[in-house]
């Protein structure tokens, strides 16, 4: 089958959706299919081999902003647009643009959802022409609902079946504020008839998005993420022994309020005040963007004025080797996100290493831990409950070993990129028929 995967880049940041789409493309290729991974907005960044089409970007972030803001740029020649689509410029622009408050992006989002009828019509025609003349796919996938505006052109002009991934866009959509959120939802719902199938990354997210889209739940398939073969092959066959290190908790996700790092710090402060755990450590890894630097600086001040002083280490943004090293250096994993996480890839990465987790009873976490027996669920947004969960595992090495062993076995057999690819192929075959 000829498959085109559209992947929305995140401006030079490691992004869970990009990692998923890249892993899917690689696995489909290994299964013998012809796959084209097309970056949208900015280049994709992955910690394994990049599967995209030589880095050429469509719907470049600079171009779509300028075309939205000024009539002049809706008629510029491709030579100028090409200059504005250079990788370095897109990464710089999107990195600084990520600090834009979501409520200021309502107009641009609505414009994109208009497809050929909006100010980004030139970008729609260019992408449609590329698919028609160069790729000639049997099916195309959209990375999220914000690009649903292109579905009609793909169906009407190219006669292509369109699959839309649902991978966590609700966080952005809900941040648009009133009335922007309702306007965008209504615009998305108008595009629903032009989409042949929706695929959510968890059952919980499928339930939520069925209500958001106003469609029956059975219209949304669920395909859980699968980790890249390269990552699973790189994970050591056994975890390193603690070798006398203090009890240590690990966090591996973007540094931002919504991922719950401040909540984890509060839980660690509670933990350090319990008998025998006064030396507990927290090791933190993940991307820190300019917008979230004030948040992290305040968090560091909180740590320095608390019983956790000297007990938190930030190791920066990590590639594949860095992730594995961090996971090997801690005893328990936790990313206590405040919102219902749609994917939970970082949880799967920890379990792949045999590292048990303490996670809130939100979003994809309950179903992932139920399937893997990889840790403990706790009440969300409760520092005492978080401290209780961490204490339970830190004081019981046998239970840590049991959860870790079970999680590792299930992830390495059931949460692989090949299983994800085969599940997606079933959906592709269905919409192609």
How far apart are the C-alpha atoms of 68 and 81, rounded to whole Å?
A: 14
How far apart are the C-alpha atoms of 56 and 317, rounded to whole Å?
A: 25
The region of weakest confidence among 41-50, 369-378, 386-395, 412-421 is 41-50
CB-CB contact of 48 with 26 (8 Å): yes
Token pair 């948040």: residue: 295
pTM of the model: 0.92
Is the bond leading into 144 cis (omega within 30 degrees of zero)? no
- Taken as a whole, the chain contains a residue count of 433
The region of weakest confidence among 31-45, 253-267, 375-389 is 31-45
In terms of pLDDT, which residue wins out, 224 or 10?
224
Report the pLDDT averaged over residues 137-150.
94
pLDDT value, residue 74: 87
Which residues, other chains included, contact 239 with Cβ-Cβ below 8 Å and sequence gap of 6+?
Answer: 328, 353, 354, 355, 404
* DSSP 8-state class, residue 254: -
At 299-340, the pLDDT tens digits run: 999 999 999 999 999 999 999 999 999 999 999 999 999 999
pLDDT value, residue 100: 67
At 12-35, the pLDDT tens digits run: 666 778 889 999 999 999 999 999
Which residues, other chains included, contact 81 with Cβ-Cβ below 8 Å and sequence gap of 6+?
Answer: 60, 63, 122
Residue 6 confidence class, pLDDT cut points 50, 70, 90: very high
Q: Is the domain of 426 the same as that of 392?
A: no
Among candidates 39, 425, 11, 20, which has minimal Cα distance to 231?
Answer: 20
Q: Is the domain of 372 the same as that of 393?
A: yes
Token pair 């046998």: residue: 398
How far apart are the C-alpha atoms of 91 and 74, rounded to whole Å?
A: 22
CATH number (domain holding residue 367): 3.40.50.2000
How far apart are the C-alpha atoms of 430 and 424, rounded to whole Å?
A: 10
In terms of pLDDT, which residue wins out, 98 or 116?
116
In terms of pLDDT, which residue wins out, 365 or 107?
365
Structure tokens given for 282: 């927290």
Q: Is the domain of 206 the same as that of 235?
A: no
Q: Is the domain of 238 the same as that of 307?
A: yes
Q: Is the domain of 6 the same as that of 150?
A: yes
Q: Is the domain of 219 the same as that of 368?
A: no
Which residues, other chains included, contact 191 with Cβ-Cβ below 8 Å and sequence gap of 6+?
Answer: 113, 115, 148, 149, 151, 152
Q: Is the domain of 38 the same as that of 57?
A: yes
Among candidates 72, 64, 162, which has minimal Cα distance to 118?
Answer: 64
Distance (Å) of CA 243 to CA 191, 330, 331, 405: 57, 11, 12, 19
Report the pLDDT averaged over residues 43-66.
80
Q: Is the domain of 140 the same as that of 235?
A: no
pLDDT value, residue 80: 85
Report the pLDDT averaged over residues 228-248.
88
Average pLDDT of the chain to the nearest whole number? 91
Q: Is the domain of 19 the same as that of 51?
A: yes
CB-CB contact of 412 with 352 (8 Å): yes
Q: Is the domain of 170 the same as that of 293?
A: no
pLDDT value, residue 69: 84
Q: Is the domain of 245 the same as that of 377?
A: yes
pLDDT value, residue 142: 96
pLDDT value, residue 264: 98
Report the pLDDT averaged over residues 177-189.
91
pLDDT value, residue 370: 97
pLDDT value, residue 299: 97
In terms of pLDDT, which residue wins out, 192 or 45?
192
- Domain limits at 270? 230-414
Which residues, other chains included, contact 427 with Cβ-Cβ below 8 Å and sequence gap of 6+?
Answer: 163, 197, 199, 221, 223
pLDDT value, residue 173: 86
In angstroms, the first-to-last Cα distance of the chain is: 12
Checking if the pLDDT of 237 tops 80, the result is yes
Residue 66 confidence class, pLDDT cut points 50, 70, 90: confident
Checking if the pLDDT of 224 tops 80, the result is yes
pLDDT value, residue 415: 98
Checking if the pLDDT of 381 tops 70, the result is yes
The region of weakest confidence among 41-50, 200-209, 271-280 is 41-50
Q: Is the domain of 212 the same as that of 356?
A: no
Report the pLDDT averaged over residues 123-130.
92
Half-sphere exposure of 408 (CA within 13 A, CB side): 18
Percent of the chain, pLDDT > 70?
A: 95
Checking if the pLDDT of 83 tops 90, the result is no
What's the structural domain count of the chain?
2
pLDDT value, residue 396: 96
Token pair 């000829």: residue: 2
CB-CB contact of 79 with 30 (8 Å): no
Among candidates 344, 336, 383, 346, which has minimal Cα distance to 364?
Answer: 344
pLDDT value, residue 225: 96
């Amino acid at each position: 089958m000829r498959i085109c995967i559209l992947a929305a880049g995140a401006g030079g940041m490691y992004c869970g959706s990009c990692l998923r789409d890249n892993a899917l493309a690689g696995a489909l290729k290994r299964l013998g299919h012809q796959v084209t991974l097309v970056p949208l907005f900015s280049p994709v960044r992955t910690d394994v081999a990049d599967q995209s089409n030589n880095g050429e970007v469509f719907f470049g972030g600079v171009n779509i902003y300028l075309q939205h803001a000024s009539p002049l740029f809706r008629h510029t020649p491709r030579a100028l647009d090409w200059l504005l689509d250079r990788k370095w410029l897109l990464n710089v622009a999107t990195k600084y643009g990520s600090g834009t408050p979501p409520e200021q992006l309502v107009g641009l989002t609505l414009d994109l959802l208009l497809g050929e009828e909006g100010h980004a019509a030139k970008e729609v025609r260019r992408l449609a022409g590329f698919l028609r003349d160069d790729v000639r796919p049997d099916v195309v996938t959209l990375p999220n609902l914000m690009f649903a505006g292109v579905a009609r052109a793909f169906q009407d002009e190219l006669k292509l079946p369109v699959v839309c991934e649902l991978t966590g866009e609700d966080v952005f959509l809900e941040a648009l504020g009133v009335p922007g959120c309702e306007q965008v939802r209504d615009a998305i719902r108008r595009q629903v008839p032009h989409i042949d199938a929706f695929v959510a990354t968890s059952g919980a997210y499928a339930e939520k998005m069925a209500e958001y889209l106003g469609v029956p739940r059975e219209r949304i398939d669920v395909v859980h993420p699968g980790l890249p073969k390269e990552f699973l092959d790189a994970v050591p066959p056994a975890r390193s022994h603690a070798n006398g290190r203090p009890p240590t908790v690990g966090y591996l996700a973007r540094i931002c309020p919504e991922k719950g790092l401040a909540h984890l710090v509060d839980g660690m402060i509670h933990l350090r005040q319990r008998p025998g755990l006064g030396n507990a450590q927290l090791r933190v890894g993940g991307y820190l963007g300019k917008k979230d630097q004030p948040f992290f600086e305040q968090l560091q001040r909180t740590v320095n004025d608390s019983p956790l002083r000297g007990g938190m280490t930030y190791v920066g943004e990590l590639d594949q080797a860095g992730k594995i090293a961090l996971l090997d250096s801690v005893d328990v994993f936790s990313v206590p996100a405040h919102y219902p996480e749609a994917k939970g890839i970082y949880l799967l990465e920890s379990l792949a290493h045999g590292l048990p987790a303490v996670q809130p009873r939100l979003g994809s976490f309950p179903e992932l831990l139920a399937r893997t027996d990889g840790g403990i669920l706790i009440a969300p947004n409760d520092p005492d409950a978080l401290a209780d969960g961490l204490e339970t595992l830190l004081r019981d090495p046998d239970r840590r070993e049991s959860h870790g062993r079970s999680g590792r076995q299930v992830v390495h057999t059931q949460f692989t990129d090949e299983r994800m690819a085969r599940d997606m192929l079933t959906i592709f075959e269905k919409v192609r028929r």
